[in-house]
Structures are given as C-alpha cells and as structure tokens.
A and B are shown apart, each in its own frame.
Chain A
Amino acid sequence: MTLLSRYIWAAAGLSGFIIAWWLATVLTDLPAYILPSPGAAFAEIWEPSYNWGTHIWATTQEIFGGYLLAVIIGVALAVLFSWLPALNAALMPLLVLLNMVPKVAMAPLFIVWLGYGIVPNMVIAFTICFFPIMLTTYRGLQEVEPDLLNLVKSLKANRWQIFLKIQLPGSLPFLFSGMKVAAVLAVAGAIVGEFIASQKGLGYFLLAQQNALNTSAMMMALAFITMIGVALYGVVIALEYFFITRKGINQ
C-alpha cells in the first residue's frame, strides 16, 4: 500500500467515526447532555467564556514541561548509572520500587508539597514519564557489542570518546522507544494533576463542565487534550525519524 493511500484510508476511518457519531445523534433520541452532535461539540470553540486559550496553554505547559524534565533527568541519571556501577547498585532497586508506586496515587502528596498551579502538575507528569525514559536509556547504554569495544580500545579510545561516539548514539533507539511510551503517559499525568487540584487547564475545565452537564464542551476539551498529545507525539516521531528511521536503523 502506498503512503498516499494509507493517508486516504486513515482519513476515511476518522471521517467514518465522526459520521457514525453524527448518525447516532440524528437517529436516536439521546438527549444532548448524553451525546451531543459533533457539530454542537465543535461549536463550543466559539464560546468566549470558556477561555480555551488559557486552559490549553496551561495544560500544554504542564505536559511539555514535565515531559522535557523527564527526558533531561531520565537521560542524565541513565548516563550516571552507566558510569558509576556503585550508584546504580544503590539507587536502581529503590527507583524500581518507586516505579511500583502508582504515580497517580502520589498526586495528592505533590499538591500538599507544591501547592496549586502549574508546577505540581508538571511534576506529576514528570514522575509518570521519568521511569520508562530512564530505564530504556540505561538499557541502551549497556548494549554495546563487545568486539566494537575491543576495536575502539585497541585504538586507545578514552572513556569519553567511547561514550560520545559509541554508547550514547547507540542508545538513541532505546531512548526513543521510552520517549514514545512516556509521551502518552505525560498527557495522563498532567490531566490527573488538574483533576485533583487546579484552577486552570483542560482537566480542570472538564470537571467544571461536568458539574454543569455541559457534555458538548467536555467533548471539545477532550479533543483539545488529544491534540496536545498528538502534537507531543508528533515531535517525538519527527525527531526519531531524523535520528533513527531515516537511516534505516531498526531496534
């Protein structure tokens, strides 16, 4: 199947979904607070009192901020662990244990520590993204062919050269697989944070509209959340294409 026909089929699938939704509202007697029509949901964009811009911007900051933080700290820790086996031995079991704690359940604690606002939600998104990124990168850094190591050691390569020329670029496919998992999690993390305590953001907006049974606005909020997630995922895929896919590297 060509790329173009794939796009056409994907567009057809999405249109089909929206048409089925619309048909469901036309052919049944479901009240609008249960299932508003796609048109009604879409029309909510023009409602100025919803302050879409503010909410979208808050949620975007939380998602992208928490995610970026997770990438930076996750990769840095993975590098430190691969350099310092003692640190790895001391901290890795602890981190694996912490990873077992449902991150969502830690959210109330972060609110207590950090108060309301964008920062605690960013931190929740961070904690939920951090583990997959750190663990996959650490594994990627370990995966070096022994003979490749022999080859560069026979040239008296120093540790820094081995790291920069062999280990770090070799770990990129692993890092990206972690980053793709984390991109989905980041959105969930930020929204959960907003559910628990916040005065801004699409998660906060969702709860507020739920109280008013304003289902069409909730649908539109969901659509915006999805779009932010898709944007983040798109950035990751684009980077992955540039560094990995374009070169025909498969994991």
Chain B
Amino acid sequence: MTEPFVRLVGVTKTFKVGSKEFLAVKDVTIDVEEGELVSIVGPSGCGKSTVLSILADLHEASGGTVDVGNPESPFTPGRDIGMVFQKALLLKWRNIVDNVMLPAEILGLPRKESRERALDLLEMVGLSKFATAYPQQLSGGMQQRASIARALVHNPKLILMDEPFGALDALTRERMNLELLRIWRESSKTILFVTHGIQEAVFLGSKVAVMTAGPARMAAHFPIDLPEPRTLDIKTTEKFGEYTREIYQLLGMH
C-alpha cells in the first residue's frame, strides 16, 4: 500500500491578536489517500476552514506535522491546489469559460490548451451551453458548478472545498452532492470537503473527520463504509442513520 496523499498529525493553529493568543484549531490528525473524498464536519468556529487554509499554504501550522504528496505523486504548493468556497466567487466581468481559465492564467499555463481543458470541464459539469454567458446570468447552482470547473482547470492534485453548497437551497444541494460524486469519480481527484451538514458529510465522504467548537479540535475520524457508487437510496439505510447518529453524539447533540 502506498503512503497517504495527505497526512496531518496533531496539527495546531493559534493566531496572535495583539498580545493575546487565540486557538483556532488543535489535534487535527487525519490521513487522506490519493483519490479519496474525505469530509470534515463540524459547527461554525470549529476550525474547519483553518485546516483547509493550512493545506492551501495560506497559513502555517503552529504545531504538528503537515505532509502532502508522496513519492509516487509529489505535491507542489500553488500548482496542485484547487479551491471551492461557499460563494462561487466568479469574476463578474469575465464570461464563464474565461472564469474557469483564471487559475491556468495565474500559473502561466499555455492558453490554447487550458482553454480546451476549460471547455471540456464545462462539459463535464454540464455548462457547455453557458461558456460565453456571464456569471450573473446563471443560477447559484450553476455558478457553483463553474467554480468547481475552475478548481480543476490546472489539473491540481488536491481539491479543497469549503462548504461549497452551503448557500444553495436544499434540493439543489442534494443534486449538487450527486454531481460532485460523479465529478469526483470522473476526475479521480483527492478532495477534502468541509461542511456543517452531517448528512452531507456522511453521504459524500469515504471518511469523515468530526470537529467540535469550544475548544476547536478534531474529536474523531472514521471511515464510512457505505456501498459505492453512492446513490440517494443509501440515505434511508440503517447504516447511514447510525453514522449520522454517531456524529450527532460526538458533537454533543443528543
């Protein structure tokens, strides 16, 4: 068996505000295999986003070890990160395909090839008809699909998603969950998916990390053993219920 792609051991992050130190997160220990989709679930203020920003090299961990990449698949910070946020954050003055190309432009990748790749990705997320539309003309769900395509355009190895469907209505959100699973299978990317939706975390993740607020720390992480490929049917199974119940308990909501 190869080494995990992402390995976090006892990661801690504190922020200094004036002379005071604030603990953003502690005890984050998790392995993510290459090509795995792992959910991180927890309430607001539990430090979920901090974990992602450490992986994205936006912040440095204050303690513990952060290891990304392995000998078979080396990781280059900057080059190998794709990010998706709760807001689609598309540039209003660019059409959809030019929005998707933004990371490729920043990295200085060849224009023609990245444009072709952007168009292929738009096809994959079901937006090929909207390549030359402007973001304002798209619904929230469609904008978020475009932002997923943008996160993939430079072919990064690690995709970080920070509550990407948190602003969508419940039905669109379920549809996007299915879409994400399909995109994940087709692109075989390693994905870290942060959410405060317990059901969403169990439904998507092959592993779930549970984080609590006050103190902000990682309480547990465990594999989710549900049949693949996942379909909406599994949400009504006994096992799905057990996993969600366990997470509710870990979060002290019982």
Q: Which residues of A are in contact with B by a Cβ distance under 8 Å? A: 145, 147-148, 150-157, 161, 165-166, 169-170, 172, 243-244, 247-250
Residues in A whose Cβ lies below 8 Å from that of B134: 247-249
Q: A150-B83, A165-B105, A169-B93 are in contact. Are A155 and B78 (CB under 8 A)?
A: yes
The stretch of B31-39, B50-58, B121-129, B233-241 that contacts the partner chain: B50-58
The stretch of B84-92, B177-185, B189-197 that contacts the partner chain: B84-92
Check B93 against A154 for contact (C-beta < 8 Å): no
Check B106 against A157 for contact (C-beta < 8 Å): yes
Check A154 against B83 for contact (C-beta < 8 Å): yes
Residue from the list B78, B85, B136 in contact with A147, Cβ < 8 A:
B85
Residues in B whose Cβ lies below 8 Å from that of A150: 53, 56, 58, 83, 85
Question: Complex formed: what's the CA distance from A250 to B85 in Å?
Answer: 22
Tell me if B102 is interfacial: C-beta within 8 Å of chain A: yes
Question: Complex formed: what's the CA distance from A152 to B90 in Å?
Answer: 12
CB distance from B166 to the nearest CB of A (A): 12
Tell me if B42 is interfacial: C-beta within 8 Å of chain A: no
Q: Which of chain B's residues has its CB closest to A157's CB?
A: B106
Tell me if B107 is interfacial: C-beta within 8 Å of chain A: yes
CB distance from B89 to the nearest CB of A (A): 5
Check A154 against B58 for contact (C-beta < 8 Å): yes
Tell me if B103 is interfacial: C-beta within 8 Å of chain A: yes
Tell me if B215 is interfacial: C-beta within 8 Å of chain A: no
Residue from the list A145, A155, A169, A249 in contact with B103, Cβ < 8 A:
A155
Number of A-B contacts (CB under 8 A): 65
A contact patch SS: helix
Residue from the list B78, B83, B93 in contact with A249, Cβ < 8 A:
B93
Check A247 against B89 for contact (C-beta < 8 Å): no
What are some 22 contacts across the A-B interface (CB < 8 A)?
A: A148-B89, A150-B53, A150-B56, A151-B83, A151-B85, A151-B89, A152-B106, A154-B58, A154-B81, A154-B160, A155-B78, A155-B81, A155-B106, A156-B77, A156-B78, A157-B106, A165-B91, A170-B93, A244-B93, A247-B136, A249-B92, A249-B136
Using A156-B78, A248-B136 as known contacts, list a sample of 12 further A-B pairs with CB atoms less than 8 Å apart, ordered by residue number in A: A150-B56, A154-B78, A154-B81, A155-B103, A157-B106, A169-B93, A170-B91, A172-B93, A243-B93, A247-B92, A248-B134, A249-B93
Question: Complex formed: what's the CA distance from A165 to B98 in Å?
Answer: 11
Residues in B whose Cβ lies below 8 Å from that of A247: 92-93, 95, 134, 136
Residues in A whose Cβ lies below 8 Å from that of B78: 154-156
Within 8 A of A (CB), among B57-92: 57-58, 77-79, 81, 83, 85-87, 89, 91-92
Check B91 against A169 for contact (C-beta < 8 Å): yes
Tell me if B137 is interfacial: C-beta within 8 Å of chain A: yes
Q: Which of chain B's residues has its CB closest to A151's CB?
A: B83
The 5 closest A-B pairs by CB, nearest first: A156-B78, A248-B136, A154-B56, A147-B85, A249-B92
Q: A154-B57, A157-B106 are in contact. Are A147 and B81 (CB under 8 A)?
A: no
Q: A148-B89, A157-B106, A166-B91 are in contact. Are A248 and B137 (CB under 8 A)?
A: yes
Q: A145-B89, A155-B78, A247-B136 are in contact. Are A165 and B106 (CB under 8 A)?
A: yes
Residue from the list A147, A155, A243 in contact with B107, Cβ < 8 A:
A155
Q: Which of chain B's residues has its CB closest to A161's CB?
A: B106
